[in-house]
Amino acid sequence: MPILKSLGVADPKVPRAGTLPLRSSRNPFEEVPGPEEDEVGELGSLPNGTSCRRRATLEKLAGLAPFRLGWTPGRRAGSPGDGQSRSFLGRVLTPGIRRSSADFGLLARLQGTRAQGDEEVAGEAARRLAFLRLGRGPKPRRASLAERVVPAGEAAPEPPPKVPEPPKMKEPLSVLEILSLIQQRELARADEHILELEAEELASSGGGAPGPPGAEGAAGGRRARDVALLYEALQRELWALVRETLAGPGPGAGAGAGAVAQLGQVLVQEEAADGRRGPGAARKLRARWAEAVARAARERLEAAAPGAPGGLAGQLEALRARLLEDMGVVRGRLAPAYPAGLGAFGVYLRGYHGALADWLGAAARRRLPLADRYALLHWHNQVYPREILGLVDLVALENGELGPLLSPGTLRGLEDECVTDVKAQTRAALLRVLQENEEHWGSTEEQPSSLAQDVCELLEEHTERAPRISQEFGERMAHCCLGGLAEFLQSFQQRVERFHENPGVRELLPDRYISRTISLVNCGPPLRALAERLARVGPPESEPAREAAASALDRMTRLCHRVLADLLFQELQPHFNKLMRRKWLNSPEALDGIVGTLGAQALALRRMQDEPYQALVAELHRRALVEYVRPLLRGRLRCRSARTRSRVAGRLREDAAQLQRLFRRLESQASWLDAVVPHLAEILQLEDTPSIQVEVGVLVRDYPDIRRKHVAALLDIRGLHNTAARQEILAVARDLELSEAGALSPPRDRAFFSDISVPRPPFCLGLPLFLGRLPLSRLTRPGLACLPRLRPPFPSRPPTQR
């Protein structure tokens, strides 16, 4: 004991003034009873044999004394200010009473002032206790309750049944502790305590215990501010969590899923609380969550688009990749972590849809080049529905279908701008191509023409892209391009006419002239096919433009065919001049020259494409037979006997067969011309009038453009001068001609006899008419044969007044 006194430690049996023994409870904030309430028990003895009671250690006394009794270094218990400290500590340390943010601030200040005075005392106490432990030796073993009650040698009774302890009341957390939970991302637990704090605030403001008005108002206002601040902190963490989970799974994918699950639990709790709050006080965290998702989606899309190369098309491709990546994260990791009732996938999809709509709308309002407008329309109408929305079950969305990314008016405006730009650009480009190609028409160098290919490429660039955007836009673009093509073909036809009207080109470059004409003709089929295709795709009002394009191509092709045929028949004309003469009856030289020349020129014509080549060969076939029959009907040869008629008819049949073989070899499709010469040969050879009438009827039926003057010229050639027989034969032609008077004339490519002009038939005067009027001495015998037909006076001309 002297040693303890020398160390400044009181006797364990005598309590020191100002100190109280502690209970065995582990709660350091439990109220400590006075000395009269402490139970005394023998816990053992010191090594010197002296017993000691259970006392609070110096460390505990030094740490808790200021808060138990309101003691501070340098102040005695019961000094002024002790009651105030006891009131504050009662609020802080009493179970069941929540500590506010103001109390924790005061507590922190008290802890700070206490720390300076306690450091010296705690250090000295630690040195003394170390010496005491050495003096006491090992800690004695405490006897159990059974050993105390039951004497030695007797069996211990069975322990009493355990009585279930009443559930401990959960102590409410302070504002700072709730804030700590928020910062630790224990969001669901923090939201529960915030809801409890909000309920306390509502209870105190609505039906709490009465108290001083000023104090109650101040406490309620502070609690309301605490609730508002906690909600702000909670929402900051919630929306930050939305952004972070969209950025990617990262190393802690499991932790991220747990945080998302807590976010969903908070939304469910708050939605239930909104039902209790009423419509005026509802916090609507679910709607704010959707807004936060939309903000995060907008940030993600804006971060992906600006750095993409390739202009707007590259940015749209980057957006597509980001959408696929993020929606994959939402579908696979985030949406399953939310409660099913929130419809998380639909919320994320609508957020991205709205953010994408804002981005596309801003892009559409800028002045974009034509290529970027095409890319924007194609991405909006095809890529997004097929590659993004095609992976989503839109039927499963909570609020039905998504709205359009761009309004119909915006889309229509973009399409109108595209059509306007295409019309202007194609018109200038086509004119430039035509001018560049025309410069080579008179060149001495042989250069293949790429005019048709260039024109088709210019127009197909737009007519192929537009239908991939939408059918309506494809129709509008086809109509626009067809109008531009029709204007180009009309200009092209006019330039071809000027080229052929220039005599210098034909004289200086005869070989190049033919090749150039063939190359111009070869431009027709691809351009015609393009016009037909555009007319099929375009709307019904495209038909006038198609007709204008086809008419320009037809005129250009006919002009070129006529030029080539004229050049060829200029070379064949000497051979045709030898036909229908006596030498022709005995020698096939004239026809052999015709066949040989046509066969040689056909090699050059083979460079022409199939469609114009077939049309040219058919025209050559028709024109060759016209030139063959022309000298026959003009009376170059007269048959004065049946033998001569038989020889002429046989020669006509042989020539017709040879010409037929030639044009079959040239692949002529004008087979309707093969029968004209054999019909003429039959009319010349037949002897009886009925047979001639039948053959004339067949000839008139097959060739409706034949006239009576052609039949009369044929009868003159065979030497039929019998007036009655001639009238009977000509009557057949007249009847058929009158019956078909109302019918339309045959088309140009089916006309044959209309291109053959015959001299006016002579009118023979009979002798009885002139015997009494003209003296016979004035008429020689040959003069009585034939006289010119008397021309009747013009009916509309009035008689001349003298």
690-711: b (≥16 Cβ within 10 Å) or e: eebbebbeebbeebbbbbbbbb
pLDDT digits (tens, 9 = 90+) for 223-244: 889 899 999 999 999 999 999 9
Residue 637: the pLDDT is 84
Global pTM value: 0.66
pLDDT digits (tens, 9 = 90+) for 412-427: 999 999 999 999 999 9
* Contact in structure between 7 and 128 (CB atoms under 8 Å): yes
H helices then E strands: how many in the chain? 29, 0
In this model, does residue 147 exceed pLDDT 90? no
Helix, strand or coil, per DSSP, at residue 45: strand
Helix ranges, 589-675 (H): 589-605, 610-633, 642-665
With bands split at pLDDT 50, 70 and 90, how would you rate the model's confidence at 563?
A: very high
With bands split at pLDDT 50, 70 and 90, how would you rate the model's confidence at 317?
A: very high
- As a CATH number, domain 410-560 is 1.10.357.50
Residue 122: the pLDDT is 52
Share above pLDDT 70 across residues of the chain, in percent, rounded to a whole number: 67
Per-domain boundaries in the chain: 175-200+226-246+257-395, 410-560, 595-750
Helix, strand or coil, per DSSP, at residue 694: helix
Residue 737: the pLDDT is 72
Residue 746: the pLDDT is 67
564-594: b (≥16 Cβ within 10 Å) or e: bbeebbeebeebbebbbeeebeeeeebbebb
CA separation, residue 106 to residues 64, 88, 101 (Å): 16, 9, 9
pLDDT digits (tens, 9 = 90+) for 446-481: 677 789 999 999 999 999 999 999 999 999 999 999
With bands split at pLDDT 50, 70 and 90, how would you rate the model's confidence at 503?
A: confident
Residue 248: the pLDDT is 64
- Give the pair of three-digit tokens for residue 485: 């093509």
CA distance 768 to 224: 144
Q: What value does the mean pLDDT take over residues 31-57?
A: 42
Residue 128 has a CB neighbour count (10 Å cut-off) of 14
CA distance 636 to 667: 32
Q: Which among 566, 630, 559 has a CA at the least distance from the CA of 601?
A: 566
Helix, strand or coil, per DSSP, at residue 31: coil
CB-based contacts of 373, cutoff 8 Å, min separation 6? 414, 417, 418, 421
pLDDT digits (tens, 9 = 90+) for 66-91: 333 333 334 433 333 444 433 433 44
CA distance 155 to 168: 36
Q: Which among 399, 408, 405 has a CA at the least distance from the CA of 385?
A: 405
Residue 75: the pLDDT is 41
